[in-house]
Chain A
Amino acid sequence: MSKLGNLGARLHRGEVSYDFIGKRKIWYGVSILITITAILGLAVRGLNMGIDFQGGAVFTTPTKMSASVAQVEEYAHDASGHEAVVQKLGNGSLRIQIAGLDTGKSDEVKQTLAKDLKLNPEKLNADLVGPSWGEQIANKAWQGLAIFMVLVVIYLAIAFEWRMAIAALVALIHDITITVGIYALVGFEVTPGTVIGLLTILGYSLYDTVVVFDSLKEQTKDITKQTRFTYSDIANHSINSTLVRSINTTVVALLPVAGLLFIGGGFLGAGTLNDISLSLFVGLAAGAYSSIFIATPLVADLKEREPAMKALKKRVLAKRAQAAAGEAQEESRSATGEPSDGAAPAVVGPRDQSAPRNRGRGRPSGKRR
């Protein structure tokens, strides 16, 4: 802990910081690259839509089947007249997917399969879906996504401001694009479970973003009353000071999902658990990335276009130039060191002590000079 704790403390004081905002162009570039790759992947390879989207049946046998996969594939083909995909699951049971089977015919196939496999038909699980089911879920998902986006933008615009709402929305779209892109590129199967996972990312991806925004809002409350930091400086400091928090929340969120993905999924092979957790895992990681590298820099970008912020930037730059001219490098060093002791918001006006303290601390160093 002490190491991480120290890092936290140093991040908090601003002794260590990564210039997220300054290097934002790089991260924008990275994200655009990822997005383009994702879109290309989607366009070229398309999504591997699961059986729920084309209609068909999934049969699952009990554990300890003696029949081999190839054998079962043949059985299934004979029974249905359609191509079948057979997978062996972690616990030794078989998952038999037959596409293009309508619900009417599936029962017949089930009986035949059960006979071929020398099973009691009761023991053979069947999951039959009409082609409209997946479509239905997907449509509902899009609908839900749209409604959620509208609501969340309104909410964030009220709770914070519209720039943050837009930045959060961009980050959200970015996360979804990445997740979908990874599905297209890797060829993971898209099932209703995937869709559920994707929709859950909605709330989750925004969690970290909201935490950073909250800190940003707080620290920039009295931004115009000072001339030491530009909006971007403070935004950068907010990201850095909440970095430990963001990392911790992301790790803690990812751990159970990872458990679900690797243990739950590994134990059973493909299944609902796996589908949900896989898309959650990808989406959560993307969400953490986007809240740090995309959402906040974007807010800074939007904010700096505001006349007030432009003017502030001018003043800050002018003051810095002056300071640099007057007191050489030492002063600038203390300026970067400063956000630390004023605590998070070195900026905040009402606290009076910070000014005298700064002067006090500034002076000895000046005297030393």
Chain B
Amino acid sequence: MAAPKKGRGASAQSKPGRSLVLILIAIVAMTGGMFLAGHTTPRLGIDLAGGTSITLKAKADQGSAINKANMDTAVDIMNRRVNGLGVSEAEVQTQGDDHIIVNIPKGTNSKEAQQQVGTTAKLYFRPVLASEPSGGAAPKPSPSTSSGASGSPSPAASPSGDQKATSPSNAPSPNASATSQGRAVSDALKADATPSPTGSPSAKSSGAPASPSPTPGANADAAKLQAQYQALDCTKPAERAKVGKAGKPGEPTVACGEVNKVWYKYVLGPAAVDGTEVKKAQAIFDTQGASGWQVQMTFTSSGAKKFADITGELAKNQQPQNEFGIVLDGDVVSSPYVQQAITGGQAEISGRFTQEEAQSLSNMLSYGALPLSFQEETVTTVTAALGGEQLKAGLLAGAIGLVLVVIYLVAYYRGLSLVAMASLLVSAILTYVIMSLLGPAIGFALNLPAVCGAIVAIGITADSFIVYFERIRDEIREGRTLRPAVERAWPRARRTILVSDFVSFLAAAVLFIVTVGKVQGFAFTLGLTTVLDVVVVFLFTKPLMTLLARRRFFADGHKWSGLDPRSLGAKPPLRRTRRPSGPTTGPVDPKGA
């Protein structure tokens, strides 16, 4: 008697132990992973943690379409902007096809960020009139730059540029020096080993040593600029945030730029070429030269002409006045130097770029600035206090909802409710762990609607158990004993659960794809819990039921088991049917009921 039972239990009843072990291992592994990764709580959304959330909608300008590439570039640029404000952990991400959400944690200047983020930035090529490492203690310059940098320790723009001009000449090759400085060199003259001997100090700079302004006469302005330049300390984020932003394209300005993690400050002449005059820029890998990654630019016809003019002009100068600064949003993103006029509308910027750097620079050059213009749709600021309270209320509501569900299940299903509760618990643990892990993985943040979704999901999860339990009870009502009832009920319940969960999942998926922002968090949670519901029911609830069906408490239909055939109204005469159908009633074929 015992042997056949065992045999059937192991083979036919789909090895309940194995699934249980599987899911337990999964839980333990994921929980362990969660603790190892150090992300033991879900990342909270801005509405719960406090901060400012800005939703921007892209508007297509003439000529630029709203597409993924453009949106990604915009996110990239915005990211630079908000983080340029000294904001830590600010987040910029696309949502849907045409929205960008900027989340700025509490404690930063959200107003400034708000102004910065959506405005269309400008990209210009400006001639460099003076530059030097910025900050009191020049942060340990690398040998080759040091000669240039320390050669002119005085903050004043060196009148002749001679001192600086020596630095590249001392360097083994202009290319090397350029790269060590993080500067780029026009490829046109890369082969030219000697730095341009054309170096008669430019008329402009020699004219007024203290005023780098190329437009003589505006002395007051020049003095002001000079004072600004002297006072500027680019190592301070606050100063960086202010500087350069207001610079009009037609006037000289001061600016900051980071080169090899060293901040430089610049005095820049009026914009020579507009970023919009770059037709195309791309990062390419130079297989022939040793220069590696470089950026290739193509100008529009007017841009090509202007670029030829400015490079022709610059090439006559000594460093740093033979450089032009590529200025984005007032920051110098790159300052390649020029060694001869570049005509023909094609230019390459080389330097020891990494692939990423080259690509990022080419992106900026290609799009000039934000490729799209944006419109502010919502701005939400939440203090953490209120967010915390909402979270508390949500969690309280969830707990109470859960208690109510448990009370109902206990009252109605008695012993079976233990299975339901255990399954709900497993489901809850899995949801929590996955949410915590998804924070760092895909940037999932638990916002208020998502909390709502999780609470609503309690109902969805419990629904599946009810479908299964009712099925089992139906089988018992037909006079089956528990074990066959559990197995026969499963295929039917399984189908119902799958079909209805699929519909729920479909709704969540459509919501997730179509909507934006808050709604997405909600939809994501719903979809996640629906999937977890299926996993839990298949790998946990069903195997657990199979195991419990062997226990006498349940199998004998104890009054408190929730499976008492008498109170379920099973008809005694039907006990006859059990025998003929019993043996053939494999777990597989649900032919009868």
- Interface on A for B, CB 8 Å cutoff? 1-2, 4-6, 8-10, 12-13, 52, 60, 62, 91, 93, 103, 106-107, 122-130, 132-133, 136-137, 140-141, 143-144, 147-148, 151-152, 155-156, 159, 192-193, 195-196, 199-200, 202-204, 206-207, 210-211, 214-215, 218, 241-242, 244-245, 248-249, 251-260, 263-264, 267-268, 271-273, 276-277, 280, 340-341, 343-345, 348, 350-351, 353, 357
Find out whether the CB atom of B522 lies under 8 angstroms from the CB atom of A196.
Answer: yes
B401 lies within 8 A of chain A by Cβ: yes
CB distance from B52 to the nearest CB of A (A): 9
Asked if B459 is at the interface of the complex by the 8 Å CB criterion, the answer is yes
Measured in the bound complex, the distance between the Cα atoms of B526 and A257 in whole Å is 14
| B502 on the A face (CB < 8 A) | yes
A127 with B507, Cβ < 8 A, contacts A136-B516, A193-B449 known: no
Q: Name the contact of A127 in the complex, choosing from B96, B381, B402, B405 (C-beta under 8 A).
A: B381
In the assembled complex, how far is the CB of residue B101 from the closest CB belonging to chain A, in whole angstroms?
Answer: 12
Decide yes or no: A249 and B467 within 8 Å by CB, A125-B381, A192-B519 being known contacts: yes
Given known pairs A132-B57, A199-B519, A256-B459, the reply for A12 and B503 (CB within 8 Å) is: no
Most chain B CB within a 10 A radius of its CB, from A124, A143, A202, A203: A203
Identify which of B123-131, B243-251, B270-278, B567-575 touches chain A. B567-575
Alpha-carbon gap, A43 to B1, bound state (A): 73
Q: Is the CB of B455 within 8 A of A259?
A: yes
- The chain B residue with its CB closest to the CB of A3 is B567
Given A193-B449, A260-B394, A263-B400: A204 in contact with B504 (beta carbons within 8 A): yes
Can you name 20 A-B pairs with beta carbons within 8 Å? A1-B567, A5-B567, A8-B569, A13-B571, A125-B386, A126-B381, A127-B380, A128-B380, A129-B377, A140-B96, A151-B506, A152-B506, A210-B499, A256-B459, A259-B397, A260-B452, A263-B393, A268-B390, A272-B47, A348-B592
Q: Which of B386, B408, B504, B593 contacts A251 (CB 8 A)?
A: B408
Within 8 A of A (CB), among B491-527: 492, 495-496, 499-500, 502-508, 510-511, 514-516, 518-519, 522-523, 526
Contact A252 B396 (CB under 8 A): no
Distance of A108 Cα from B516 Cα, bound (Å): 28
B503 touches which of A52, A152, A340, A344 (Cβ 8 Å): A152
Whether A256 and B458, one on each chain, are in contact in the complex, defined by CB atoms closer than 8 angstroms, is yes
DSSP class of B's interface residues: helix, strand, loop or mixed? Answer: helix
Chain A: minimal CB distance from B568 (Å)? 6
- B569 partner residues in chain A, CB cutoff 8 A: 5-6, 8-10, 12-13
Instruction: Name the segment of B171-179, B324-332, B473-481 touching the other chain.
Output: B473-481
Which 3 pairs of residues, A with B, have the shortest CB-CB distance?
A9-B569, A256-B401, A203-B507
A260: chain B residues at CB < 8 Å are 394, 397-398, 401, 452, 455-456
Residues A130 and B567 in contact, CB atoms below 8 Å apart: no
Residue numbers in A under 8 Å from B409 (CB-CB): 252
CA distance A60 to B269 in the complex (A): 48
CA distance A130 to B118 in the complex (A): 14
A253-B463 in contact (CB<8A): yes
The winner among B519, B568, B574, B581 for most chain A CB atoms within 10 A is B519
> Once the chains are docked, how many angstroms separate the CA of A210 from the CA of B464?
12
Q: Would A200 and B526 count as touching, CB distance under 8 A?
A: yes
- Chain B neighbourhood of A124, CB < 8 A: 383
Contacts of B495 in A (CB 8 A): 214
The answer to whether B380 and A271 touch across the interface, beta carbons within 8 angstroms, is no
- Residues of B contacting A200 in the complex (Cβ-Cβ under 8 angstroms): 453, 456, 507, 511, 522, 526
Query: Across the interface, which residues of A come within 8 angstroms of B398, CB to CB?
Result: 256, 259-260
A273 touches B502 (CB 8 A): no
How long is the Cα–Cα vector from A255 to B400 in the complex, in angstroms? 9
Query: Which residues of chain B are within 8 angstroms of A203 by Cβ–Cβ distance?
Result: 503-508, 526
Choose among B57, B452, B477 the residue that contacts A277 (Cβ–Cβ < 8 A). Answer: B452
Give the complex CA separation of A264 and B452 in angstroms.
10
Q: Which residues of the partner chain A approach B453 to less than 8 Å between Cβ atoms?
A: 200
In the bound complex, CA of A159 to CA of B567 (Å): 35
Q: For the complex, what is the distance from the CA of A214 to the CA of B495, rounded to whole Å?
A: 8
Query: With A200-B507, A252-B462, A260-B455 given, is the CB distance from A211 to B467 under 8 Å?
Result: yes
Q: Is B552 an interface residue (CB 8 A)?
A: no
- B378 A5 Cβ-Cβ under 8 A: no
Q: Which of A103, A143, A267, A341 contacts B574 (CB 8 A)?
A: A341
The answer to whether A273 touches B500 (Cβ under 8 A) is: no
For chain B residues 94-120, which have a beta carbon within 8 Å of chain A? 96, 111
Judged by a CB distance under 8 angstroms, whether B580 is at the interface is: yes
Interface membership of B302, Cβ < 8 A: no
Q: How far is the CB of B516 from chain A (nearest CB, A)?
A: 6
Task: Indicate if B72 sits at the interface (CB-CB under 8 A).
Answer: no
Instruction: Enumerate chain B residues within 8 angstroms of A204, measured Cβ to Cβ.
Output: 460, 504, 507
B341 on interface, CB distance cutoff 8 Å: no
Name the residue of chain B whose CB is nearest to the CB of A195.
B519
Distance of A170 from chain B, by nearest CB (Å): 16
Min Cβ gap A153→B in Å is 11
Partner pick for A273 among B397, B405, B492, B506, CB 8 A cutoff? B397
Other A-B pairs beyond A8-B470, A152-B507, A256-B398, 4, CB < 8 Å? A143-B514, A203-B506, A207-B500, A267-B397
Question: For the complex, is B466 an interface residue (Cβ under 8 Å from A)?
Answer: yes
Q: Is the CB–CB distance between B470 and A248 below 8 Å? A: yes
B414 touches A1 (CB 8 A): yes
Cα(A347)–Cα(B405), bound, Å: 36
* Interchain CA distance A60-B505 in the complex, whole Å: 35
Nearest chain-A residue to B512 (Cβ)? A144
**A contact residues around B460 at 8 Å (CB):** 204, 207, 253
